[in-house]
Structure 1
Amino acid sequence: MTRSTFLKSTVVASGLVGAIQTLPAADAPGDAAREYFEIRKYTLKAPEKQSVLESYLKDAAIPALNRLGVKNVGVFLPEKAEGTPVVYVVLRYSSLDQLAKSADLLADAALQKQGAAYLDAPAADAVYERVESWLTQGIAGMPAMAVPVKGSQVYQLRIYESPSEKTGKKKIEMFNIGELAIFKRSGLNAVFFGETIVGPLMPNLTYMLSFSDAAAKDQAWNTFRVDPEWMKLKTTPGFTDKEIVSRITNLVLVPTTYSQI
């Protein structure tokens, strides 16, 4: 069994994360159109370690990923500095095979050379405390990433947790049948929407939005909140927050100068 076959089998069959369920034929965009988005959160040991990680990402990891065909690698920092420094990385995969190949990144000789300061850091002086990661699959209404226009300065990474697998599917349905369209006309520019299939806080829907600046973000959300169709949809039985959403995490992020998203 190949590494990629094993990974695909694990993702599909794992009882912990649930199966990647097939959408009804009328709604399914086709496997080729479905992309996968991995979000990584690096919690650093100390503020001075951020430059070590960022140099590795910029000069070693991103070029190596690009050589493997993994494009549009995003690197983001919290808009407001946190007590413990963190860095978020968004990876876009065209398939699970591509994801599996990216796990062999250390086989890249150029990466080993360019990333030596990071890769060879001693255990007593580690760069990060831990890396958390979750993998999402594009939803039917937005199966692939929409790369934002250049100049976008403010991003939101939002996580909608649901009380059960069934209600999690209901929240995704809500976006597919109407909420995505309302987002678009309100100026809430979607970068990706992904149903988490491996990772913490499941079941959840994770998505990213982009804006030219903070004022555009605030205006878009204000427009969305008073949209007549949204006002109707959010009060429709079966789609109310109290029924299908248990917690929302909202992260306001800014892209690094070398981010490809």
Structure 2
Amino acid sequence: MNLPRRDFLKGTLAATATAAFATRLSAETPKSPGREYYELRCYRLKADTRLKADANPTLLDAYLEGALLPALDKLGVKNTGVFTELDINKDTATSTPKPGSPVWVLIPHATLDSFVQVSATLNADPAVQAAGAAYLQAPKAAPAFERIDSWLLLAFAGMPRLELPAFSRDRVPTRVFEMRDYESHSELKALSKMTMFNDGEIPLMKDLGMNPVFYGQALAGPDLPHLRYITSGPDLATHLVGWKKFGSDPRWTSMKNDPRYADNTSRNTSRFLAPKPYSQI
């Protein structure tokens, strides 16, 4: 059936406009050379629908330390962090292990292919299966965890790669980390908060010695849209002083009152973390 000339022209113009828009969008999409990807895992150990009693963390520890981290090292994936949560008292700058804490694992990847390879094939490696047999072969009646939550994040342009603090390299036993995730009520507001970090908050945190480890935009996982980052200190007291300096700095006051960044965060969750003895961060 032949289309009327008017409909044919309308369709042709629409297709041309769509193609032009796609070309322009591709050209304007910022490239991200050198920006890392991060997988953040949360191993939940408290009893729920799968576990009748809280899982024994030693089974997971043995797998992470003896199987997962060595396999990641072999693949060239370095600086994997393993943490548990802390309850803190800001008045006394003291902390205690949080009862029933999940185990958090941060895995940096140079490329998206690295993430896919680790996620899809690592546990099929016979060496990993042998080293992690007790964990991987845990019986159905007594699994090693309740659930694993996972997020895929893309590093911010303002800090495209993970930065390992000196006190992590030196294995300072009192080092502490704080992970924050900022949720937004729309994708556009989440991008606004990222811009706020790239243009001001990241340089300010570095200037104040807050030792940021990474900043990431959550691409997949629960509670989207959100971003997540970790700051750190050689000890809790030093870390808390850094936040006090940040809160009173005129550069922060200017940023938070800038109308461009209004209402870009709907929820802020903070978790204080202690590294496991075998953590590489």
Deviations 1:177-234, CA, capped at 9 Å, x for gaps: 1111111112221100000000111110100111100111111001101111111111
Deviates more, 1:143-152 or 1:50-59: 143-152
Q: Does 1:148 align with 2:149?
A: no
Q: Does 1:90 align with 2:106?
A: yes
Structure of larger gyration radius? 2
Question: How much is the aligned-residue C-alpha RMSD, in angstroms?
Answer: 1.8
Q: Does 1:43 align with 2:50?
A: no
Q: Provide structure 2 residue ranges, at least 5 long, that are not aligned to the other structure.
A: 1-24, 48-52, 88-96
1:65 to 50, 61, 72: 72
TM-score calculated relative to the size of structure 2: 0.80
Deviations 1:124-165, CA, capped at 9 Å, x for gaps: 111111000111001111111111223261001100001100
Going from structure 1 to structure 2, the CA distance change for 1:39 and 1:107 (only over 3 Å counts) comes to same
Going from structure 1 to structure 2, the CA distance change for 1:130 and 1:23 (only over 3 Å counts) comes to farther
Deviates more, 1:165-174 or 1:101-110: 101-110
TM-score calculated relative to the size of structure 1: 0.86
SS at match of 1:59: helix
CA distance in 2, matches of 1:203, 1:71: 27
CA contact (8 A) 1:50 1:85 kept: no
Residue 123 of structure 1 is matched in structure 2 by 140
Q: Does 1:193 align with 2:215?
A: yes
Deviates more, 1:75-84 or 1:31-40: 75-84
CA distance in 2, matches of 1:40, 1:23: 34
Deviates more, 1:251-260 or 1:184-193: 184-193
Going from structure 1 to structure 2, the CA distance change for 1:208 and 1:91 (only over 3 Å counts) comes to same
CA distance in 2, matches of 1:23, 1:222: 42
CA positional deviation for 1:109:
1.5
Residue 178 of structure 1 is matched in structure 2 by 200
CA distance in 2, matches of 1:144, 1:98: 15
CA contact (8 A) 1:136 1:196 kept: yes
Going from structure 1 to structure 2, the CA distance change for 1:214 and 1:245 (only over 3 Å counts) comes to same
2:151 to 123, 134, 138: 134
Q: Does 1:257 align with 2:277?
A: yes
Q: Provide structure 1 residue ranges, at least 5 long, that are not aligned to the other structure.
A: 1-20
Residue 8 of structure 1 is matched in structure 2 by none
CA positional deviation for 1:107:
2.4
- Please identify runs of 4+ aligned residues in structure 1 that moved more than 6 A: none
